[in-house]
Structure 1
């Protein structure tokens, strides 16, 4: 049997070599142009369940429940034996109206970076879009933002920058764009610094594609070359001979960034009204797409399509 003997000098050289390899690997990973610190999925809470989340920053789980009564939808939060109805922060005491094909969505995310998550609500009120952002100020849940715009998103969602919120109307486009940060319990308007929404052009083209009353033969150039063909098959299965689709609202956020800090991957959640062309006027349901886009040169292209509902 041969016994490998390594002298002290060779051992030091070997250890230095290993250290250099580890360091170079770390540098390559760190400076990868598509590197990101963490991926966090922002999905709406299940409306049929009572959610247990710390919403006040005291380390204790609070109870969050959607309340549906008298054609009105409210959100009730129970924290430390105190009950808070978010509708009390709205002038007409109504968050949303009951709408089976446009159900309210509740998103939880720490926009202010104070380790206390904000509550983002999207839904319909009097057949129009309604979007709210609520924040715990230490004593109560206060309304810090409200809009009738039907698109809301968060960029710099989970990187080293302060998150920015984007709000706009699908009909008004960029002319309706409003952006803000939430700092020290107050909104800071940043609209003058933002004139564009990354990936909006491809999403607008996708919405137009879904709303067409027929299936197109050739798809627009908004998809990556590597997109799964099964994803694209969702577009062929919409049965537009029997159903029409009308865009309702959207929520988006970024989850991967380039080395320069630009969004590389963005996820959109698109809600459509699906109407039965051969049924009665109330024969409607909600159809939801979850879309992932990746930066492709100066534009963003769709890399994945999922049906959420």
Structure 2
């Protein structure tokens, strides 16, 4: 187990569609997990301390997701830091892997579970706070990115599935990889709130919807402070060279009232980043859509 040139189109509000399911209460998620074309159930139980997950396949068999010995927990049960769950066939073996993000003792944790013909194995765990999927919907080899953003510093680990095992590989990441530089700046921006005189940073698209911006200004003007918890991303479309053109990001924060430190809740910004080509041939990403939930 591993531990550790402007394209013109209509900008849609695809930032509002989450690809991770947030678990505020016990929940059943229906999905075809084993590739037989029938709906299975991923049941997540939440009590006052912990999370428990069970896979109920359509044929009547059930399997618990048991965390490995290195991270012997699926996460603390906290209203202001709920577990996030996603299922995706990154291995391309027609059986979906199960990806989890949660927290343990105030730190982010990640788990990846893989079916091994008899049970689900916890093949990856990490304290990183970013989990991303690259090339999962095109003809390239899908990659899983486990990254960490802290105080403006970004570190990355990249993985691919090889014969149903997760293998790390080295990659020289540019500063604007998947718009990570923009995301780091956006996290710092939100953590600087409240700010009643907010000036819109230049990494926002100039024609972004006014209703989207109202969500941002409303957050800035609240008497609340915000602390980044974790986030995720996934590329949605690509240019003719295979470079991601649109990247969907979800960023989760703990919101705390400045007048009552016990008044806390979870908020999530869903962002759509779009690639624009600069006059010198380089490119940058800009935030073209924003949703708050």
Q: Give the conservation status (yes or no) of the 8 Å contact 1:179–1:194.
A: no
Which blocks of at least 5 consecutive residues in structure 1 are unaligned?
A: 1-31
Which residue in 2 is equivalent to 1:226? 207
Deviations along 1:182-233, one digit per CA (max 9) or x if unpaired, are 1211112123454553201111111111111324442211011221111111
Which blocks of at least 5 consecutive residues in structure 2 are unaligned?
A: 1-5, 278-282
> Following superposition of structure 1 onto structure 2, how do residues 8-47 of structure 1 map, counting pairs within 5 Å?
43-45=19-21, 47=23
1:304 aligns with 2:289: yes
- Give the number of the structure whose residues are more often strand, by fraction: 2
Deviations along 1:263-301, one digit per CA (max 9) or x if unpaired, are 00001001010001111x331100101000100121100
Q: Give the conservation status (yes or no) of the 8 Å contact 1:131–1:147.
A: yes
Q: Give the conservation status (yes or no) of the 8 Å contact 1:135–1:143.
A: yes
C-alpha distance 173-158 of structure 1, shift in aligned 2 (>3 A): farther
Which residue in 2 is equivalent to 1:187? 166
Helix, strand or coil for the counterpart of 2:21?
Answer: coil
Q: Give the conservation status (yes or no) of the 8 Å contact 2:31–2:41.
A: yes
Q: Give the conservation status (yes or no) of the 8 Å contact 2:67–2:122.
A: no
Which residue in 2 is equivalent to 1:9? none
RMSD: 2.5
Helix, strand or coil for the counterpart of 1:199?
Answer: helix
- Give the number of the structure whose residues are more often helix, by fraction: 1
Residue 64 of structure 1, aligned match among 19, 33, 42 = 42
C-alpha distance 203-140 of structure 1, shift in aligned 2 (>3 A): same
Separation (CA, whole Å) in 2 of partners of 1:170 and 1:46 = 21
Greater C-alpha radius of gyration:
1
Per the normalisation by structure 1, the TM-score is 0.81
Q: Give the conservation status (yes or no) of the 8 Å contact 2:249–2:271.
A: yes
Separation (CA, whole Å) in 2 of partners of 1:161 and 1:285 = 39
Which residue in 2 is equivalent to 1:243? 224
Which residue in 2 is equivalent to 1:201? 181
How far residue 165 of structure 1 moved from its aligned partner, in angstroms, is 1.2
114-123 vs 165-174, which moves further: 165-174
191-200 vs 120-129, which moves further: 191-200
Deviations along 1:58-87, one digit per CA (max 9) or x if unpaired, are 333322111123511121112233322212
Relative contact order higher in (CA < 8 Å, ≥ 6 apart): 2
The count of aligned residue pairs is 273
> Following superposition of structure 1 onto structure 2, how do residues 119-198 of structure 1 map, counting pairs within 5 Å?
119-171=98-150, 176-194=155-173, 197-198=177-178
